């Protein structure tokens, strides 16, 4: 999808932090102190804008729904519902940044989900005669899925990069082929139930086991994230000093560290505020010989496994995108493929790997979705490609190439899912939901493009 370069589109991310508000004249003057603070903090203002937009959406839904939307339970559900799209969106960012597109992710998700379901519900227990619910089953299923995903994605990437066929066409073909293959070898059948350990990956409940970290592990993870943020700030400071770059003032560093820790621990606090459903808790109490206190047995659920997977993927993908040679190559290719090739970057190999990585991420999402549904169905993942692309684009990824961030895409996925599940909560019918989401998509990208043009 390497369209003609758009004259106004910037080719590098840059740091619009200081200049973005200046175009607003009087408003800009009034916001001067905020602007100065932000420039010290070196925060990506576009990301900050998205967080604010999300906050507006959340608070409005909460007011209209009479406090249900921001309840721990709904936020917990929302986090699980968003994670599968978010995982794929991180890969889609790199694909779009390198001026490609992947339309096959929905069909591929269905195909990989089916393969994983067959592995654990048919091949291992029946064909190999090893029986159901073995402790290793889920690991084999996931490994098979991720490996196959990487191979399938790599195959598409090979045809795109080495065959010279546009990614739009190759993945459009993939959209048809993978869906067709599901019908071929599944013969329209639903595969269920799945392995009990595997189901944990979807954040579901089996008996009294819930696919979540539980109270203490959640707090510990929150603390670990907090320490990691502080560590990154400290090493970053040291590195800047070594290369003679200016450092942020100390108070700015402290503010960033505190804000990061507050978010990490806040998320865990919300996850732990959602107690196990009464029926599950009662059964848990009976099994563990706990007599429920008068107020009912309250056991914190903790962060759901799909969200843990999503966080892991985010960290790894952000690291790859910003700290590894591969990631820098992807952005360089997106910025200017010819220049990248002349600079000695193996463009074809990089593009192929991008699609391969996308395939592996699709497999992870497929694991989450099938596990959550506790079934593989033939229309699993239908139209997911639209949600994933929308999430990446709402998150600030540009079709002109070279621009896009992983955290932005995650936020984009959360925005999309917040709109959808919020509207279901308010009993908005599905045609209206489609209309709203469609308008928001166009409006978000339109606004983003307008702001970008004014700042460059």
Partner 1 sequence: MSRRFVVLAATLMLIVSACGGTGTSGTTTAPAATTAPVAVATTAAPTAAPPCTVGVSWNNYQEERWAKWDEPAIKAAIAAGGGKYISNDAKSSAETQASNVDNLISQGAKVVIVLAQDGTAIKPSVAKAIQNGVAVIAYDRLIEDPKALYITFDNVLVGKLEAQSVFAAKASGNYVIIKGNKADANADFLRGGYDQVIKAAVTSGAIKIVGETYTDNWDPAKAQTEMEQFLTANSNKVDAVLSENDGMAGGVVAALTAQGLAGKVPVSGQDGDKAALNRIALGTQTVDVWKDSRALGKSAGEAAMQLCKNSDITKVTGTAPFTTPGGNTVSSILLQPDPITSANLKDVLDAGWITKADLCQGVAAGKNASCN
Interface residues with partner 1 (CB under 8 A) are 65, 68, 71, 73-74, 77, 81, 132, 159, 162-165, 180, 183-184, 186-193, 203-206, 277-283, 369, 372-375, 377, 379-383, 420-421, 424-425, 427, 429-431
Instruction: Quote the strand ranges of 356-446, DSSP E.
Output: none
CB of 133 or CB of 215, closer to partner 1: 133
> In angstroms, what is the minimal distance from the CB of 282 to partner 1?
8
> In angstroms, what is the minimal distance from the CB of 80 to partner 1?
9
β-strand partners of 300? 275
Token representation of residue 361: 């991420």
> In angstroms, what is the minimal distance from the CB of 226 to partner 1?
29
CB of 330 or CB of 423, closer to partner 1: 423
CB of 285 or CB of 408, closer to partner 1: 285
Token representation of residue 295: 């107020």
> In angstroms, what is the minimal distance from the CB of 374 to partner 1?
5
Q: 3-state class of 275 per DSSP?
A: strand
Give the chain's radius of gyration (CA, Å).
Answer: 23
Token representation of residue 143: 């490994």
> In angstroms, what is the minimal distance from the CB of 210 to partner 1?
8
CB of 69 or CB of 331, closer to partner 1: 69
CB of 68 or CB of 273, closer to partner 1: 68
Q: For 350, how many CA atoms within 13 A lie in the half-sphere containing its CB?
A: 26
> In angstroms, what is the minimal distance from the CB of 130 to partner 1?
15
**Chain center to CA of 170:** 24
CB of 74 or CB of 314, closer to partner 1: 74
In whole angstroms, give the CA distance from residue 14 to residue 411.
20
In whole angstroms, give the CA distance from residue 426 to residue 248.
45
> In angstroms, what is the minimal distance from the CB of 150 to partner 1?
20
Contacts 24+ apart (CB under 8 A), 249-257: 249/40, 252/40, 252/41, 252/42, 255/41, 256/41, 256/43, 256/229, 257/229, 257/230, 257/233
Rama region for 398: left / alpha / beta (φ>0; ψ in -120 to 50; rest) = beta
CB of 162 or CB of 251, closer to partner 1: 162
> Comparing C-alpha atoms, which of 350, 443, 385 is closest to residue 97?
350
């Amino acid at each position: 999808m390497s369209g003609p370069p758009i004259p106004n589109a910037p080719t590098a991310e840059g740091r619009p932090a200081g200049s973005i508000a200046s175009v607003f004249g009087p408003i800009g003057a009034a916001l001067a102190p905020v602007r100065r603070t932000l420039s010290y903090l070196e925060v990506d203002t576009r990301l900050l804008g998205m967080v604010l937009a999300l906050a507006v959406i959340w608070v409005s839904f909460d007011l209209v729904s009479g406090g249900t939307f921001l309840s721990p339970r709904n936020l917990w559900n929302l986090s699980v519902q968003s994670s599968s799209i978010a995982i794929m969106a991180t890969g889609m960012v790199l694909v779009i940044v390198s001026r490609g597109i992947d339309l096959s992710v929905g069909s591929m998700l269905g195909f990989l989900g089916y393969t994983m379901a067959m592995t654990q519900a048919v091949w291992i227990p029946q064909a190999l005669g090893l029986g159901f619910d073995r402790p290793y089953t889920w690991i084999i299923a996931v490994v098979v899925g991720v490996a196959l995903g990487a191979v399938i994605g790599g195959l598409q990437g090979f045809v795109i990069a080495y065959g010279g066929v546009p990614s739009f066409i190759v993945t459009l073909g993939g959209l048809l082929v993978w869906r067709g293959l599901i019908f071929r070898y599944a013969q329209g059948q639903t595969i269920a139930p799945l392995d009990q350990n595997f189901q944990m990956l979807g954040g579901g409940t089996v008996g009294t086991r819930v696919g979540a970290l539980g109270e203490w592990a959640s707090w510990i993870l929150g603390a670990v994230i907090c320490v990691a943020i502080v560590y990154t700030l400290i090493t970053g400071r040291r590195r800047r000093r070594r290369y003679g770059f200016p450092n942020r003032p100390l108070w700015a560093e402290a503010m960033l560290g505190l804000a990061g820790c507050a978010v990490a621990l806040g998320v865990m606090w919300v996850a732990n505020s959602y107690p196990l459903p009464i029926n599950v808790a009662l059964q848990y109490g009976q099994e563990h010989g706990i007599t429920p206190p008068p107020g009912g047995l309250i056991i914190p659920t903790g962060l759901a496994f799909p969200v843990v997977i999503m966080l892991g993927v985010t960290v790894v993908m952000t690291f790859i995108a910003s700290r590894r040679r591969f990631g820098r190559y992807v952005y360089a290719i997106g910025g200017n493929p010819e220049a990248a090739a002349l600079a000695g970057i193996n463009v074809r190999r990089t593009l192929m790997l991008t699609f391969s990585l996308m395939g592996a991420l699709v497999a992870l999402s497929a694991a989450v979705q099938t596990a959550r549904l506790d079934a593989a169905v033939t229309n699993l993942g239908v139209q997911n490609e639209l949600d994933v692309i929308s999430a990446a684009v709402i998150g600030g990824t540009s079709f002109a190439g070279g621009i896009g961030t992983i955290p932005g895409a995650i936020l984009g996925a959360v925005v999309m899912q917040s709109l959808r599940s919020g509207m279901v909560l308010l009993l908005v019918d599905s045609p209206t939901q489609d209309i709203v989401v469609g308008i928001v998509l166009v409006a978000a990208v339109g606004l983003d493009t307008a702001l970008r043009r004014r700042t460059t």
